[in-house]
Structure 1
């Protein structure tokens, strides 16, 4: 059996539905779709403030960690080989 023969067999075996039942099923489907339509969500101002505070805290933590890492590498300036840091004496 090939695809076209299967299509013909399936088309011949489907039940006949009268217009009244088809219209009733369509109205029922529309009613259910209208009833379960999700409402658009709005983000509350309180949630926006908490999100901004969280992002700020995360950025501050990251900046502090980066600064601590950079300061842990002495002297965080490259010096050519054979030269040394000069120190000022008073």
Structure 2
């Protein structure tokens, strides 16, 4: 067999596997935190919150890796970062 054809087929197969795994990760459904929710967080990837100009309670999201290495998202409520300088 032609070695170039074999290399091309292997490269094509590898790229397809990578593309499928990237598509699977992009469909992560966020979970909503409630008191007593078991959290399995190995590494926090990002923290974000809805923009709000004043101090108050906002919606926030944490993106993290669980102990199995799967990306997860958690929605929760918190005081805005604008509250840090107020009592």
What TM-score does the superposition give when structure 2 sets the normalisation length?
0.37
Which structure has greater helix proportion? Answer: 1
What TM-score does the superposition give when structure 1 sets the normalisation length?
0.36
Structure having the higher Rg = 1
